[in-house]
């Protein structure tokens, strides 16, 4: 399910004015055609399934436009207001929603009048723009409730008709103006804040019956503002009713998470450490006013979610870079998100076939023979490993049962850590042991969600025992997510060499900021990488070094402990790494050009 919020900037067809009857506040025939054409192009570029619109004056014109683009379900919650003395001049726009999917129901927001006792809500209070609230029947996620909102702007509420006599000194006029604007700023803030908290109360009432919920629109404030915080409730809670957090009963925090809304930019996995794209320019300064928020049921950080945000984008190039009047385009960027289901919709298919026939593939392999060979490899390997838990959800006992138990239940505590020379038993005794992800967990998370892989398979990739190796905590932290060196470079600053040269001199960072692998561990690393590339169809990592990986796997043959580990994983987890088989079968796979060339989408390996 893909959603986008679009502030149209005064969508009023030709012959109508907005706010004032001036030439700049209306469209001429040619301008209106350009406006509609541009809006249609942006909608097609976004290709969202559900669209939320703000600043809609000409409702019928918008409905006609989106219907022509395939959005046959359209709704508004109100009617645009016009001047009582001139129905060609609009005074107040509305919000609208258009969808490719059918509506199950729609409703008006209810105002809980009991809040009058704790909030300054006037009896005649109303939203500056009444929100749309619709439950949509989606093919992948089921029922999703969507709110489209446009909260009160920061523009101060002032009396524009106020006039001064000729005798009034200018100093007094300016002082009076600033005083009135100060009051107006607070009135705007109060209105926006009330809209936000009333919206939040309505959402909480709906979550019990419809846990999958999206709020999108122009909130007219930034993510850390009080009005947005009143809507998301992301502030830290240290105590409830005088009881501090550490004394809460087990499971209490789940209710806390379930009653919050989550900013899609903050929770989209692939956006870690990226700068937030702006959606508006205020006096040349980029800010974010347009948001898409989701409930915890659609939060990728929630291991019990039914859907998860997997993509977030902002289409904002038109704001600053094209020198075209906002009137013909928009003064806001358009926010887009994609939400994918957490459960597979094709449960009857084998996992291997599911993972290779999914939509939105980044590339297509050339040879059917290569694809079939890869599927045969996966079948021999026991299938695509899945998990209902992410690695982050693993507790100490989970990690022990899942991985560390092998070294002690099978008397392999003498095995050296992957980068150093200290045995596993010693590392555990000194509490310096940790698990190394050969292909970094952060890469797997972001890559697989970008490829729209279901979470059970993503969690399986994170916890796959063949991507895990025993490591020294210090060395593992220094390796971090650096890529491996495949050029035979030397270590330029070996970690901790002054403490234990024999243990650490052969590993560390090279001049290219790549991690040098000790010769004795190269086969272990290569077999893990080749296995993961094939099973999870990873096409963006180490492919330039495929021949080197194959060479490492051939020259540094599996050790006694690695063969035993392969058998242990098969017994406990039901999978095996064919590259760790006995010599004859292992070499058959390593010499299988059809299998390995299928990773490259190019000529077979020489």
- Summarised one tens digit per residue, pLDDT across range 509-543 is 888 888 888 899 999 999 999 999 999 999 888 88
How far CA 158 is from CA of 76, 180, 181, 185, 188, in Å, comes to 28, 7, 6, 9, 10
pLDDT score for 117: 84
Q: What percent of the chain has pLDDT over 70?
A: 92
Closest alpha carbon to 525 in 471, 600, 589, 462: 471
Q: Are 517 and 528 in contact (CB under 8 A)?
A: no
For residues 205 and 278, state if they share a domain.
yes
Q: Please state, in angstroms and rounded to a whole number, the distance separating the CA atoms of residues 26 and 328.
A: 11
Separation of alpha carbons 601 and 599, rounded Å:
6
Distance (Å, whole) CA 194 – CA 289: 17
pLDDT at 499 over 80: no
Beta-carbon contacts of residue 527 (< 8 Å; ≥ 6 apart):
466, 553, 558, 562, 577, 579, 580
Q: Using CA atoms, how far apart are residues 425 and 404, in angstroms rounded to an integer?
A: 10
Beta strands in 100-231 (DSSP E): 103-107, 132-138, 142-150, 213-218
Q: What is the pLDDT of residues 446-467, one digit of tens each?
A: 899 888 898 889 999 999 999 9
pLDDT of residue 496: 55
**Residues 436, 320: one domain?**
no
By the 8 A CB rule, do 104 and 143 touch?
yes
Confidence of residue 135 (pLDDT cuts 50, 70, 90): very high
Q: Is 154 within a domain? A: yes
Cβ atoms of 121 and 111 within 8 Å: the answer is: yes
Final residue of a domain: which of 290, 321, 341? Answer: 341
* Cα–Cα distance for residue pair 541/549, rounded to 1 Å: 12
How many CB atoms lie under 10 A from the CB of residue 394?
18
Query: Is residue 498 over pLDDT 70?
Result: no
Domain for residue 346, yes or no? Answer: no
The two tokens of residue 197 are 């908290």
Say yes or no: 519 and 577 in one domain: yes
Domain final residue, candidates 297, 313, 341: 341
* 293, 316, 341 - which closes a domain: 341
Q: How far apart are CA 300 and CA 294, in angstroms?
A: 10
**374 and 305 both lie in a single domain:** no
Could you tell me the pLDDT band of residue 414, with boundaries at 50, 70 and 90?
Answer: very high
Structural domain of 520: 351-597
Residue 252 has pLDDT above 90, yes or no: no
Q: Kindly state whether residues 148 and 248 are assigned to the same domain.
A: yes
Is residue 336 located within the same domain as residue 445? Answer: no
Q: Is residue 604 pLDDT above 70, yes or no?
A: no
Could you give the 3-state DSSP secondary structure of residue 232? helix
Length of the chain, in residues: 606
What pLDDT was estimated at residue 351?
40
pLDDT in tens, 144-153: 999 999 998 8
Q: Which residues contact residue 211 at a Cβ distance below 8 angstroms, ignoring those fewer than 6 apart?
A: 258, 295, 296, 297, 306
Read out DSSP for 20-72? Answer: S-SGGGB--HHHHHHHHHHHHHHHHHH--SEEEEEEES-HHHHHHHHHHTT--
Q: How far is CA 507 from CA 42, 418, 519, in A?
A: 51, 10, 9
Note the pLDDT of residue 355: 41
Q: Is residue 603 domain-resident?
A: no
User: Using an 8 Å Cβ cutoff, are 80 and 93 in contact?
Assistant: yes
With 0-12 / 13-18 / 19 or more C-beta atoms within 10 angstroms meaning exposed / middle / buried, residue 512 is exposed
Domain-located, residue 534: yes
Sheet holding 17-18, edge to edge: 17-18, 86-92, 81-83
Cα(250)–Cα(245) distance, rounded to whole angstroms? 11
- Continuous segment of H or E residues that includes residue 310: strand 307-315
Query: Does residue 286 lie within any of the structural domains?
Result: yes
Distance between CA 261 and CA 197 in Å, rounded?
A: 12
Per-residue pLDDT for 606 more than 70?
A: no
Mean pLDDT (whole number) for 38-52: 98
Neighbours of 575 (CB within 10 A): 21
| Rounded-to-integer distance, Cα 93 and Cα 55, Å | 5
Quote the tokens at residue 136: 């949509």
pLDDT of 237 strictly over 50? yes
Q: Are residues 253 and 332 both part of a single domain? A: yes
Locate tokens 């700049």: which residue?
24
In this predicted structure, what is the pLDDT of residue 602? 45
Contact yes or no for 4/52 (Cβ under 8 A) = yes
Residue located via tokens 């599927």: 375
CA separation for the pair 282, 331 (Å, rounded) = 10
Distance CA(569)–CA(381), nearest Å, equals: 11
Q: 587 burial class (0-12, 13-18, 19+ CB within 10 angstroms)?
A: middle
Give pLDDT tens digits for 345-392: 543 333 443 343 333 343 444 447 788 899 999 999 999 999 988 998
Residues of 206-222 as b/e, b for ≥16 C-beta within 10 angstroms?
Answer: bbeebbbbbbbbbbbbb
Per the domain annotation, does 604 fall within a domain? Answer: no
Domain assignment of residue 165, yes or no: yes
CATH of the domain at 79: 3.60.10.10
The mean predicted confidence, pLDDT, of the chain is 89
The residues, any chain, with a CB within 8 Å of residue 555's CB and separated by 6 or more, are: 522, 523
Q: Are 484 and 497 in contact (CB under 8 A)?
A: no
Considering the domain architecture, whether residues 363 and 335 belong to the same structural domain is answered as no
DSSP string computed for 532-545: HHHHTT--SSSGGG
326 near 9, Cβ under 8 Å? Answer: yes
Specify the range with the lowest mean pLDDT, choosing from 61-70, 185-194, 466-475, 554-563: 185-194
d(CA 135, CA 29): 37
Within 10 angstroms of residue 550's Cβ, the number of other Cβ atoms is: 18
User: Quick one: which of 506, 505, 556 has its CA closest to 528?
Assistant: 556
- Which pLDDT does position 541 carry in this prediction? 83
Residue 359 has a pLDDT of 34
> pLDDT grade, residue 494 (50/70/90)?
low
In a domain, 461, yes or no: yes
| Domains contained in the chain, number | 2
- Model-level pTM? 0.82
Tell me: do 368 and 277 sit in the same domain.
Answer: no
- Tell me, yes or no, whether 529 and 385 share the same domain: yes
* pLDDT band at 46; cut points 50, 70, 90: very high
Note whether 471 and 590 are same-domain residues.
yes
Please report the pLDDT score of residue 464 as a whole number: 97
CA distance 281 to 407: 59
The structure tokens listed for 399 are: 């990690």
435 shares its domain with 517? yes
Q: pLDDT band for position 495 (50/70/90)?
A: low
User: Which 3 state secondary structure label does DSSP give 465?
Assistant: helix
């Amino acid at each position: 399910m893909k959603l986008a919020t679009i502030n149209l900037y005064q969508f009023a067809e030709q012959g109508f004015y907005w706010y004032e009857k001036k030439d700049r506040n209306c469209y001429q025939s040619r301008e209106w055609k350009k406006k509609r054409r541009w809006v249609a192009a942006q909608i097609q570029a976004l290709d969202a399934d559900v669209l939320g619109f703000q600043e809609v004056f000409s409702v019928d014109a918008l409905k006609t436009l989106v219907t022509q683009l395939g959005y046959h379900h359209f709704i508004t919650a109100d009617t645009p207001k016009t001047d009582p003395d001139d129905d060609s001049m609009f005074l107040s726009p509305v919000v609208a929603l258009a969808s490719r999917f059918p509506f199950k129901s729609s409703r008006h927001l209810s105002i809980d009048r009991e809040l009058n006792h704790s909030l300054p809500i006037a009896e005649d209070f109303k939203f500056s723009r009444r929100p749309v609230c619709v439950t949509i029947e989606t093919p992948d996620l089921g029922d999703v409730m969507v709110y489209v909102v446009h909260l009160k702007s920061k523009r101060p509420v002032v009396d524009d008709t106020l006039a001064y006599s000729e005798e009034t000194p200018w100093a007094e006029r300016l002082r009076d103006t600033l005083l009135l604007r100060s009051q107006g700023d607070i009135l705007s803030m109060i209105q926006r804040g009330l809209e936000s908290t009333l919206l939040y109360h309505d959402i909480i009432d709906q979550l019990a019956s419809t846990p999958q919920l999206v709020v999108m629109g122009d909130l007219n404030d930034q993510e850390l503002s009080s009005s947005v915080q009143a809507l998301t409730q992301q502030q830290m809670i240290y105590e409830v009713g005088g009881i501090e957090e550490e004394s809460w009963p087990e499971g209490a925090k789940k209710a806390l998470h379930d009653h919050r809304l989550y900013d899609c930019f903050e929770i989209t996995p692939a956006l870690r450490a990226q700068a937030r794209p702006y959606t508006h320019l205020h006096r040349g300064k980029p800010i974010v006013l347009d948001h898409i928020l989701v409930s915890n049921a659609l939060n990728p950080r929630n291991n019990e979610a039914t859907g998860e945000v997997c993509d977030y984008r902002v289409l904002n190039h038109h704001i600053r870079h094209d020198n075209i009047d906002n009137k013909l385009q928009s003064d806001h960027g358009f926010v887009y998100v994609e939400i994918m289901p957490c459960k597979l919709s094709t449960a009857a298919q084998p996992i291997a076939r599911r993972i290779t026939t999914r939509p939105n593939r980044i590339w297509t392999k050339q040879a059917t023979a290569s694809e079939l060979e890869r599927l045969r490899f996966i079948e021999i390997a026991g299938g695509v490993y899945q998990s209902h838990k992410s690695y982050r959800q693993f507790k100490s006992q989970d990690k022990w049962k899942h991985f560390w138990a092998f070294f002690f239940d099978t008397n392999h505590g003498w095995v050296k850590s992957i980068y150093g020379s200290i045995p596993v038993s010693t590392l555990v005794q000194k509490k310096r042991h940790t698990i190394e992800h050969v292909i970094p967990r952060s890469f797997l998370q972001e890559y697989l969600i970008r490829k729209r892989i279901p979470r059970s398979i993503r969690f399986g990739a994170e916890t796959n025992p063949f991507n895990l190796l025993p490591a020294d905590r210090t060395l593992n932290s220094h390796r971090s997510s650096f890529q491996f060196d495949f050029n035979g470079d030397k270590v330029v600053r070996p970690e901790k060499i002054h403490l234990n040269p024999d243990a650490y001199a052969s590993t560390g960072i090279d001049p290219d900021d790549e991690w040098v692998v000790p010769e004795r561990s190269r086969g272990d690393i290569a077999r893990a990488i080749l296995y993961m590339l094939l099973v999870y169809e990873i096409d963006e990592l180490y492919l330039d070094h495929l021949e080197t990986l194959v060479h490492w796997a051939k020259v540094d043959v599996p050790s006694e402990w690695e063969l035993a580990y392969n058998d242990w994983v098969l017994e406990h987890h039901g999978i095996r790494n064919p590259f760790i088989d006995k010599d004859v079968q292992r070499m058959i796979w390593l010499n299988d050009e059809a299998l390995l060339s299928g990773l490259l989408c190019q000529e077979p390996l020489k």
